[in-house]
Amino acid sequence: MAACPAPGSRRRIRRTHVIAAGCALALCTTVAAPAAADGGTTTTTAKPTIVLVHGAFADASSWNGVVERLERRGYAVIAPANPLRGLYNDSTYIASVLDSIKGPIVLVGHSYGGSLISSAAAGNPHVKSLVYVSALMPDVGENGMSLAARFPTELGTATNSVPYRAGGVHGTDLYLKPDRLHQVFAADLPESTTRLMAVTQRPVATTAFSEKAKVAAWRHIPSWFLVAKQDKTINPDQERFEAKRAGSHTVEIDSSHVAMISHPQAVTDLVLQAATAADSARPSLPATGSTYDARAETALTGLAAASLVGGAGALLLSRRLRRPAP
């Protein structure tokens, strides 16, 4: 018959078990905490800033209906003035606006503004999503003119060319013909509104459409695209081609070119989709599954080994304490 340990030995055994359990718990906490701090599977809940970039012949007020709706949802919104002087000049300017923003960004471009966001977002880790609204979406080496040649519209016959001089620079501006603006640009708006748009339109330099894209941020950043099925400024088939090529999340609505004015709720809904999308929407990441973390695996392996060693040590100590006193 095995000898029973003395009362003092029993207390030492229980104390040993408590100490071993406590060590194991402390070890779990110490090893697991860095893995959580690394944020391998943690998602941010901070709302992104929405940046709205207007296109040619327009100004930032074209986003008014969208701005109001986004602000009611609690989003910070910026609608900068697009210089409309050329792809390289304008995208550099928009990139500088983005550099001034802290936290995540959803970048939205209408028409020619789509070319700008494709360039301005390149290399900026804060831009989480790109949204194109009846927009140009050129690949590297393409420009607005080359895309329009493949997908012609009525825009070519609806503009006037006007030479300009500014600071020693000579160039050519394009204006929409007042009597064509309603039909080609904004057929689903009242004519009283389009008459004002014709008078207050901002011209765009021809370099906006002739300079070729040097980068295409949509290749690395997830994108959303609104196709305006009644668009006569950019061919809807061009919009579909661009969206399909980029793997964009796409919606189509019955709208003229200026969907953000005539259908601000539909545009807002698409922007909100982009703003609330999970990081797994990025083209470079799998649609499902978790990210493999070698450091976490190493930590868990170490935890298992430490637990095994700790358990063995506690068992040996317990056996020694159970031995009867000589």
Domain membership flag for residue 319: no
Strand residue runs (E) in 1-79: 49-53, 77-78
Question: What is the C-alpha to C-alpha distance for residues 148 and 111, in angstroms, rounded to an integer?
Answer: 12
pLDDT at 23: 41
Find the radius of gyration of the CA atoms of the chain.
31
Domain membership flag for residue 32: no
Question: What is the C-alpha to C-alpha distance for residues 264 and 283, in angstroms, rounded to an integer?
Answer: 27
Domain membership flag for residue 257: yes
The 8-class DSSP code of residue 211 comes to S
Domain membership flag for residue 56: yes
Tell me the CA distances in angstroms from 176 to 54, 65, 76, 192, one per residue in order.
16, 23, 32, 16
Q: pTM to 2 decimals?
A: 0.74
Quick one: which of 1, 3, 23, 24 has its CA closest to 321? 3
Kindly report the CATH number assigned to the domain that includes residue 276.
3.40.50.1820
Question: Helices 294-322 and 7-38 meet at what angle, rounded to 10?
Answer: 180
Give me the domain span that covers residue 269: 49-156+212-281
Domain membership flag for residue 265: yes
pLDDT in tens, 298-314: 333 333 333 333 443 43
Question: What is the C-alpha to C-alpha distance for residues 33 and 37, in angstroms, rounded to an integer?
Answer: 6
Number of domains in the chain: 1
Question: What is the C-alpha to C-alpha distance for residues 133 and 319, in angstroms, rounded to an integer?
Answer: 75
Average pLDDT estimate for 31-55: 61
Quick one: which of 304, 257, 255, 248 has its CA closest to 110? 257
2 pLDDT band, cuts 50/70/90, is very low
Q: Is the pLDDT of residue 320 over 80?
A: no
pLDDT in tens, 105-164: 999 999 999 999 999 999 999 999 999 999 999 999 999 999 999 999 999 999 999 999
CB-based burial of residue 157 (10 Å sphere; 0-12 exposed, 13-18 middle, 19+ buried)?
exposed
Domain membership flag for residue 318: no
Domain membership flag for residue 203: no
Question: What is the C-alpha to C-alpha distance for residues 69 and 73, in angstroms, rounded to an integer?
Answer: 7
